[in-house]
Protein backbone atom coordinates (compact mmCIF):
# COMPACT_ATOMS: atom_id res chain seq x y z
CA UNK A 1 0.00 0.00 0.00
CA UNK A 2 2.79 2.37 0.84
CA UNK A 3 4.21 1.62 -2.58
CA UNK A 4 0.94 2.25 -4.32
CA UNK A 5 0.55 5.53 -2.54
CA UNK A 6 4.02 6.60 -3.52
CA UNK A 7 3.25 5.89 -7.12
CA UNK A 8 0.09 7.94 -7.22
CA UNK A 9 1.08 11.48 -7.80
CA UNK A 10 -1.64 13.87 -6.69
CA UNK A 11 -3.22 11.72 -4.04
CA UNK A 12 -3.59 13.61 -0.75
CA UNK A 13 -1.88 11.91 2.16
CA UNK A 14 -4.06 9.70 4.30
CA UNK A 15 -2.91 11.57 7.35
CA UNK A 16 -5.57 12.71 9.70
CA UNK A 17 -6.51 16.37 9.57
CA UNK A 18 -6.55 18.28 12.79
CA UNK A 19 -8.74 21.24 11.92
CA UNK A 20 -12.00 21.96 13.67
CA UNK A 21 -14.18 22.19 10.62
CA UNK A 22 -14.52 25.91 11.14
CA UNK A 23 -14.97 28.25 8.20
CA UNK A 24 -11.59 29.12 6.70
CA UNK A 25 -10.39 32.01 4.65
CA UNK A 26 -10.10 29.63 1.71
CA UNK A 27 -13.81 28.83 1.97
CA UNK A 28 -14.63 32.51 1.77
CA UNK A 29 -12.23 32.94 -1.13
CA UNK A 30 -13.81 30.12 -3.07
CA UNK A 31 -17.33 31.43 -2.56
CA UNK A 32 -16.31 34.96 -3.54
CA UNK A 33 -14.33 33.72 -6.52
CA UNK A 34 -11.07 35.31 -5.42
CA UNK A 35 -7.86 34.18 -3.75
CA UNK A 36 -7.33 33.89 -0.03
CA UNK A 37 -4.99 36.85 0.05
CA UNK A 38 -7.68 39.05 -1.44
CA UNK A 39 -10.03 38.07 1.36
CA UNK A 40 -7.29 38.88 3.82
CA UNK A 41 -6.81 42.29 2.21
CA UNK A 42 -10.52 43.00 2.16
CA UNK A 43 -10.66 42.42 5.87
CA UNK A 44 -7.43 44.14 6.87
CA UNK A 45 -6.79 46.83 4.27
CA UNK A 46 -10.12 47.34 2.49
CA UNK A 47 -8.94 50.52 0.78
CA UNK A 48 -6.52 48.67 -1.49
CA UNK A 49 -9.20 46.35 -2.85
CA UNK A 50 -11.52 47.26 -5.72
CA UNK A 51 -15.07 48.15 -4.69
CA UNK A 52 -16.73 45.31 -6.56
CA UNK A 53 -14.30 42.76 -5.12
CA UNK A 54 -14.76 44.09 -1.65
CA UNK A 55 -18.50 43.75 -1.84
CA UNK A 56 -18.29 40.21 -3.15
CA UNK A 57 -15.90 39.20 -0.41
CA UNK A 58 -17.93 40.90 2.27
CA UNK A 59 -21.03 39.06 1.10
CA UNK A 60 -19.21 35.74 1.29
CA UNK A 61 -17.89 36.55 4.75
CA UNK A 62 -21.35 37.39 5.99
CA UNK A 63 -22.95 34.38 4.40
CA UNK A 64 -20.49 31.93 5.88
CA UNK A 65 -20.18 33.69 9.21
CA UNK A 66 -16.43 33.73 8.81
CA UNK A 67 -14.43 34.76 11.87
CA UNK A 68 -10.73 35.06 11.07
CA UNK A 69 -8.43 33.00 13.24
CA UNK A 70 -6.35 35.61 15.02
CA UNK A 71 -3.87 33.04 16.18
CA UNK A 72 -2.95 32.30 12.60
CA UNK A 73 -3.12 35.92 11.53
CA UNK A 74 -0.95 37.16 14.34
CA UNK A 75 1.51 34.36 13.83
CA UNK A 76 1.79 35.06 10.13
CA UNK A 77 2.25 38.78 10.61
CA UNK A 78 4.43 38.30 13.71
CA UNK A 79 2.52 41.02 15.47
CA UNK A 80 -0.54 41.47 17.60
CA UNK A 81 -2.73 44.42 18.42
CA UNK A 82 -2.90 43.49 22.07
CA UNK A 83 -1.50 45.38 25.04
CA UNK A 84 -0.93 43.52 28.28
CA UNK A 85 -2.06 45.35 31.42
CA UNK A 86 -1.17 44.14 34.88
CA UNK A 87 -3.01 45.57 37.89
CA UNK A 88 -2.95 44.58 41.56
CA UNK A 89 -6.65 44.25 42.14
CA UNK A 90 -10.11 44.34 40.67
CA UNK A 91 -11.52 45.43 44.01
CA UNK A 92 -10.90 49.07 43.61
CA UNK A 93 -12.21 51.68 41.27
CA UNK A 94 -8.75 53.15 41.15
CA UNK A 95 -7.59 50.64 38.63
CA UNK A 96 -10.93 50.44 36.93
CA UNK A 97 -10.59 54.13 36.09
CA UNK A 98 -7.11 53.66 34.69
CA UNK A 99 -8.11 50.61 32.71
CA UNK A 100 -10.97 52.55 31.26
CA UNK A 101 -8.54 55.23 30.16
CA UNK A 102 -6.46 52.59 28.45
CA UNK A 103 -9.30 50.81 26.69
CA UNK A 104 -10.73 54.10 25.50
CA UNK A 105 -7.47 55.04 23.81
CA UNK A 106 -6.47 51.60 22.64
CA UNK A 107 -9.91 50.53 21.48
CA UNK A 108 -10.21 53.48 19.14
CA UNK A 109 -6.92 52.46 17.52
CA UNK A 110 -7.90 48.85 17.06
CA UNK A 111 -5.90 47.61 19.99
CA UNK A 112 -7.12 45.37 22.74
CA UNK A 113 -6.32 45.05 26.42
CA UNK A 114 -5.30 41.77 27.99
CA UNK A 115 -5.74 42.13 31.73
CA UNK A 116 -3.82 40.36 34.46
CA UNK A 117 -4.55 40.72 38.19
CA UNK A 118 -1.77 40.08 40.68
CA UNK A 119 -3.44 40.50 44.09
CA UNK A 120 -0.26 42.33 45.08
CA UNK A 121 1.90 39.26 44.51
CA UNK A 122 5.14 39.77 42.63
CA UNK A 123 5.21 36.11 41.70
CA UNK A 124 1.85 36.51 40.07
CA UNK A 125 3.12 39.58 38.31
CA UNK A 126 6.01 37.64 36.84
CA UNK A 127 3.69 34.87 35.75
CA UNK A 128 1.45 37.34 34.02
CA UNK A 129 4.37 38.99 32.27
CA UNK A 130 5.63 35.64 31.02
CA UNK A 131 2.17 34.79 29.79
CA UNK A 132 1.78 38.15 28.08
CA UNK A 133 5.13 37.87 26.35
CA UNK A 134 4.22 34.32 25.34
CA UNK A 135 1.22 35.78 23.60
CA UNK A 136 3.50 38.31 21.94
CA UNK A 137 1.68 41.40 23.16
CA UNK A 138 2.70 44.60 21.46
CA UNK A 139 3.17 46.44 24.76
CA UNK A 140 2.93 46.07 28.50
CA UNK A 141 1.54 48.41 31.16
CA UNK A 142 2.41 47.62 34.76
CA UNK A 143 1.29 49.08 38.06
CA UNK A 144 4.01 50.34 40.36
CA UNK A 145 7.74 50.24 40.01
CA UNK A 146 8.50 47.26 42.22
CA UNK A 147 9.11 44.09 40.28
CA UNK A 148 11.09 40.92 40.51
CA UNK A 149 14.46 41.01 38.79
CA UNK A 150 13.21 38.35 36.39
CA UNK A 151 10.26 40.51 35.36
CA UNK A 152 12.53 43.45 34.62
CA UNK A 153 14.93 41.33 32.60
CA UNK A 154 12.23 39.57 30.63
CA UNK A 155 10.66 42.86 29.70
CA UNK A 156 13.92 44.58 28.83
CA UNK A 157 15.09 41.69 26.69
CA UNK A 158 11.75 41.42 24.95
CA UNK A 159 12.13 44.81 23.35
CA UNK A 160 8.45 45.46 23.96
CA UNK A 161 7.39 48.97 25.06
CA UNK A 162 6.68 49.03 28.79
CA UNK A 163 5.00 51.64 30.95
CA UNK A 164 5.05 51.59 34.74
CA UNK A 165 2.12 53.53 36.17
CA UNK A 166 0.97 55.21 39.37
CA UNK A 167 4.50 55.89 40.55
CA UNK A 168 7.54 57.97 39.92
CA UNK A 169 10.53 55.65 39.91
CA UNK A 170 14.18 56.27 39.64
CA UNK A 171 15.26 53.28 37.59
CA UNK A 172 12.41 52.48 35.30
CA UNK A 173 12.20 49.53 32.93
CA UNK A 174 11.22 51.80 30.09
CA UNK A 175 8.59 54.53 30.45
CA UNK A 176 6.70 55.85 33.49
CA UNK A 177 3.41 57.70 34.01
CA UNK A 178 2.07 58.57 37.40
CA UNK A 179 2.54 60.85 40.34
CA UNK A 180 4.67 60.88 43.43
CA UNK A 181 2.95 58.95 46.17
CA UNK A 182 5.51 60.27 48.59
CA UNK A 183 4.81 63.85 47.66
CA UNK A 184 1.06 63.31 47.78
CA UNK A 185 1.15 61.80 51.26
CA UNK A 186 3.53 64.50 52.40
CA UNK A 187 1.24 67.19 51.04
CA UNK A 188 -1.80 65.77 52.80
CA UNK A 189 0.03 65.40 56.08
CA UNK A 190 1.30 68.94 55.78
CA UNK A 191 -2.25 70.06 55.14
CA UNK A 192 -3.40 68.30 58.29
CA UNK A 193 -0.59 69.91 60.25
CA UNK A 194 -1.66 73.31 59.00
CA UNK A 195 -5.19 72.54 60.13
CA UNK A 196 -3.75 72.34 63.59
CA UNK A 197 -3.60 68.59 64.09
CA UNK A 198 -0.46 67.40 65.89
CA UNK A 199 -1.06 63.73 66.54
CA UNK A 200 -1.69 62.41 63.08
CA UNK A 201 -2.11 58.70 62.55
CA UNK A 202 -1.53 56.95 59.24
CA UNK A 203 -3.15 53.80 57.88
CA UNK A 204 -2.11 52.18 54.65
CA UNK A 205 -2.68 48.97 52.78
CA UNK A 206 -0.01 46.34 53.41
CA UNK A 207 3.34 47.68 52.26
CA UNK A 208 5.42 44.59 51.81
CA UNK A 209 4.99 44.19 48.07
CA UNK A 210 3.55 47.58 47.33
CA UNK A 211 5.86 50.45 46.59
CA UNK A 212 2.99 52.93 46.34
CA UNK A 213 2.04 52.18 49.94
CA UNK A 214 5.66 52.41 51.03
CA UNK A 215 6.05 55.77 49.36
CA UNK A 216 2.90 57.09 50.99
CA UNK A 217 4.11 56.07 54.40
CA UNK A 218 7.47 57.70 53.69
CA UNK A 219 5.73 60.93 52.74
CA UNK A 220 3.67 60.91 55.92
CA UNK A 221 6.75 60.24 58.02
CA UNK A 222 8.77 62.97 56.38
CA UNK A 223 6.02 65.49 57.11
CA UNK A 224 5.66 64.25 60.67
CA UNK A 225 9.35 64.90 61.27
CA UNK A 226 9.60 68.06 59.29
CA UNK A 227 6.72 69.67 61.13
CA UNK A 228 7.68 68.26 64.50
CA UNK A 229 4.46 66.27 64.84
CA UNK A 230 3.98 63.51 67.35
CA UNK A 231 5.76 60.33 66.23
CA UNK A 232 4.64 57.15 67.89
CA UNK A 233 4.47 53.52 66.79
CA UNK A 234 0.76 53.22 67.52
CA UNK A 235 -0.01 55.95 65.05
CA UNK A 236 0.86 53.73 62.14
CA UNK A 237 -1.26 50.79 60.95
CA UNK A 238 -1.60 48.50 57.99
CA UNK A 239 -5.02 47.28 56.86
CA UNK A 240 -6.13 45.32 53.84
CA UNK A 241 -8.28 47.24 51.43
CA UNK A 242 -11.81 46.93 52.76
CA UNK A 243 -14.10 49.31 54.57
CA UNK A 244 -14.19 46.96 57.55
CA UNK A 245 -10.45 46.80 57.90
CA UNK A 246 -10.24 50.57 57.72
CA UNK A 247 -12.72 50.75 60.57
CA UNK A 248 -10.87 48.18 62.60
CA UNK A 249 -7.47 49.81 62.09
CA UNK A 250 -8.82 53.15 63.26
CA UNK A 251 -10.45 51.47 66.24
CA UNK A 252 -7.18 49.87 67.23
CA UNK A 253 -5.37 53.13 66.85
CA UNK A 254 -7.87 54.80 69.17
CA UNK A 255 -7.36 52.01 71.66
CA UNK A 256 -3.60 52.40 71.75
CA UNK A 257 -3.49 56.17 71.34
CA UNK A 258 -6.80 57.65 72.45
CA UNK A 259 -5.49 61.15 72.03
CA UNK A 260 -5.00 60.82 68.26
CA UNK A 261 -6.23 64.03 66.64
CA UNK A 262 -6.44 63.03 63.01
CA UNK A 263 -6.03 59.96 60.82
CA UNK A 264 -4.88 59.90 57.26
CA UNK A 265 -5.87 56.68 55.51
CA UNK A 266 -4.16 55.91 52.24
CA UNK A 267 -7.33 54.91 50.44
CA UNK A 268 -10.86 56.28 50.50
CA UNK A 269 -12.32 52.86 51.30
CA UNK A 270 -10.17 52.67 54.42
CA UNK A 271 -11.15 56.24 55.24
CA UNK A 272 -14.80 55.29 54.84
CA UNK A 273 -14.32 52.65 57.49
CA UNK A 274 -12.77 55.22 59.80
CA UNK A 275 -15.68 57.60 59.23
CA UNK A 276 -18.13 54.88 60.21
CA UNK A 277 -16.07 53.89 63.23
CA UNK A 278 -15.95 57.49 64.42
CA UNK A 279 -19.69 57.69 64.10
CA UNK A 280 -20.18 54.48 66.03
CA UNK A 281 -18.01 55.80 68.83
CA UNK A 282 -19.77 59.12 68.88
CA UNK A 283 -16.65 61.02 67.82
CA UNK A 284 -17.43 64.23 65.99
CA UNK A 285 -15.60 64.73 62.70
CA UNK A 286 -13.68 67.00 62.25
CA UNK A 287 -13.85 68.44 65.79
CA UNK A 288 -12.93 65.41 67.85
CA UNK A 289 -10.94 63.77 65.10
CA UNK A 290 -9.98 64.72 61.56
CA UNK A 291 -10.14 62.10 58.83
CA UNK A 292 -8.52 62.20 55.40
CA UNK A 293 -8.51 59.72 52.58
CA UNK A 294 -6.75 59.14 49.29
CA UNK A 295 -8.00 58.92 45.68
CA UNK A 296 -11.17 60.95 45.75
CA UNK A 297 -13.57 58.21 44.88
CA UNK A 298 -17.14 59.18 44.19
CA UNK A 299 -18.15 58.27 47.74
CA UNK A 300 -15.79 60.80 49.34
CA UNK A 301 -17.94 63.81 48.48
CA UNK A 302 -21.11 62.09 49.67
CA UNK A 303 -20.01 61.39 53.19
CA UNK A 304 -21.43 63.47 56.00
CA UNK A 305 -19.20 65.32 56.62
CA UNK A 306 -17.61 65.10 53.17
CA UNK A 307 -14.22 63.50 53.12
CA UNK A 308 -10.99 65.43 52.62
CA UNK A 309 -8.83 63.44 50.23
CA UNK A 310 -6.12 63.42 47.59
CA UNK A 311 -7.36 63.49 44.03
CA UNK A 312 -5.32 61.38 41.64
CA UNK A 313 -5.56 61.51 37.83
CA UNK A 314 -6.44 57.88 37.35
CA UNK A 315 -8.18 58.04 34.01
CA UNK A 316 -5.50 60.32 32.59
CA UNK A 317 -2.77 57.98 33.78
CA UNK A 318 -4.40 55.13 31.90
CA UNK A 319 -5.01 57.05 28.71
CA UNK A 320 -1.54 58.58 28.77
CA UNK A 321 0.13 55.23 29.35
CA UNK A 322 -1.81 53.81 26.42
CA UNK A 323 -0.81 56.69 24.19
CA UNK A 324 2.84 56.32 25.10
CA UNK A 325 2.80 52.64 24.27
CA UNK A 326 1.14 53.30 20.93
CA UNK A 327 3.66 56.00 20.03
CA UNK A 328 6.49 53.67 20.79
CA UNK A 329 4.95 50.86 18.76
CA UNK A 330 4.64 53.19 15.81
CA UNK A 331 8.17 54.38 16.21
CA UNK A 332 6.96 57.93 16.82
CA UNK A 333 8.71 58.12 20.14
CA UNK A 334 11.99 56.82 21.39
CA UNK A 335 13.95 57.07 24.58
CA UNK A 336 12.50 56.71 28.00
CA UNK A 337 9.88 59.09 29.26
CA UNK A 338 8.72 59.85 32.77
CA UNK A 339 5.49 61.79 32.98
CA UNK A 340 4.34 63.25 36.29
CA UNK A 341 0.58 63.70 36.20
CA UNK A 342 0.46 65.28 39.63
CA UNK A 343 -2.25 65.17 42.27
CA UNK A 344 -4.46 67.57 44.18
CA UNK A 345 -5.44 67.99 47.82
CA UNK A 346 -9.22 68.21 48.06
CA UNK A 347 -10.21 69.98 51.26
CA UNK A 348 -13.65 69.01 52.50
CA UNK A 349 -15.36 68.95 55.87
CA UNK A 350 -13.84 65.91 57.50
CA UNK A 351 -10.79 67.97 58.45
CA UNK A 352 -10.69 71.35 60.12
CA UNK A 353 -10.13 74.42 58.03
CA UNK A 354 -6.60 75.74 58.11
CA UNK A 355 -6.32 79.25 59.56
CA UNK A 356 -6.61 81.83 56.80
Partner DNA sequence: ATTCTCCATGTTAACGCTACCATGGCCGTC
Partner DNA sequence: GACGGCCATGGTAGCGTTAACATGGAGAAT
Which chain residues interact with DNA by CB under 7 A?
12-13, 15-20, 22, 24-26, 33-41, 43-44, 48-50, 52-53, 66, 68-69, 72-73, 75-78
In 10 A of CB 342, how many CB atoms?
A: 14
Q: Are residues 110 and 326 in contact, defined by beta-carbon separation less than 8 angstroms?
A: no
Burial class (CB in 10 A: 0-12, 13-18, 19+), 16: exposed
DSSP string, 99-168: HHHHHHHHHHTT-EEEEEE-TT-HHHHHHHHHHHHHTT-SEEEEESS---HHHHHHHHHHT--EEEESS-
112: partner contacted, choices a copy of itself, DNA, none (Cβ within 5-8 A by kind): a copy of itself
Closest to DNA by CB, 133 or 316: 133
Judged by CB under 8 A, the residue of 9, 13, 51, 134 near a copy of itself is 134
Judged by beta carbon, residue 215 or residue 300, the one nearer a copy of itself is 300
Q: Which stretch binds a copy of itself (CB under 8 A): 46-54, 108-116, 257-265, 307-315?
A: 108-116
Please report, as residue ranges, which positions from 176 to 235 form the binding site for a copy of itself (by CB under 8 A): none
Give the number of other CB atoms < 10 A from CB of residue 329.
18
Q: Does 338 bind a copy of itself (CB under 8 A)?
A: no
User: What are the beta bridge partners of residue 327?
Assistant: none
CB of 307 to a copy of itself, least distance (A): 11
Residues that bind a copy of itself (CB under 8 A): 18-20, 65, 67-72, 74-75, 78, 80, 89-91, 93, 95-96, 99-100, 103, 112, 114-115, 117, 130-131, 133-136, 153-154, 157, 242-244, 247, 269, 272-273, 276, 279-280, 298-299, 301-304
Amino acid sequence: MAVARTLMKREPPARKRRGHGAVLISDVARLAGVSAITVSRTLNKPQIVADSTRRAVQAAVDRLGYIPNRLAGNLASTQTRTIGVVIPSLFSNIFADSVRGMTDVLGSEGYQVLLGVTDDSLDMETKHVVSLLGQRVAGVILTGGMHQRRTRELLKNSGVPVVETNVMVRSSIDMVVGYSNEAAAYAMTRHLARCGYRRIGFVTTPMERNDRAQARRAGWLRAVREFGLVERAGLFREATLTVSHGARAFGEMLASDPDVEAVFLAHDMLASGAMFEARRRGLRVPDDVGIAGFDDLDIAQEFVPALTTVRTPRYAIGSTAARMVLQRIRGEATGSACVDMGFEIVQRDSTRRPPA
